[in-house]
Amino acid sequence: MDANSIRYRHRQSGDATIVVIPAHSHYVHQMERCHQMAYGYAPGNGDSEDMTADKYAHHLRVFPEGQFIALDTRTDTVVGVATSMRLHLPHHPSYLGTWAEITGDG
C-alpha cells in the first residue's frame, strides 16, 4: 500500500477543520516542529530521541503506511503527528531499550 497515494476523502459531518491523513514529505519540517512543541525541546539540541525533519523523511521512505498527521485545513498546518514502526523483537524484557537504541537513532 502506498500511503502517499491515498487522497483524503471528507467523511466527517459538520464543519471539521482538523483532518487525520497519511503524512507526506511536504510536511516533515512542520512535523518536526510539532514534535518539538509536544516534547519541549529546542531545535538542534542533538538529543537522539528528537524527531527531526530528516528522520521523518526517512520514516516516510521506509514505512509510509505508519505515519499520520493531524492537519488544520484552514491554515495547512500540522497540529499533530503519529509515528509508528514495525519490527520484530524477541519477547525478552532485557532486549527493550530507548526509542533511539531500538531504531538506531530514529
Residue 31 lies in a domain: yes
Number of domains in the chain: 1
Residue 49 lies in a domain: yes
Residue 3 lies in a domain: no
Contact 52, 32 (CB under 8 A): yes
Residue 8 lies in a domain: no
Residue 77, amino acid? T
State pTM to two decimals: 0.70
Contact 68, 75 (CB under 8 A): no
Euclidean distance between CA atoms 18 and 45, whole angstroms: 30
Q: Quick check: 92 pLDDT over 70?
A: no
pLDDT at site 9: 59
Q: Which domain holds residue 98?
A: 16-103
Residue 32 lies in a domain: yes
Query: Which residues, 6 or more positions from 63, have their beta carbon under 8 angstroms from its beta carbon?
Result: 84, 85, 86
54-85: pLDDT as tens digits:
989 998 998 888 899 999 999 999 999 998 76
9-31: pLDDT as tens digits:
555 555 778 888 999 999 999 99
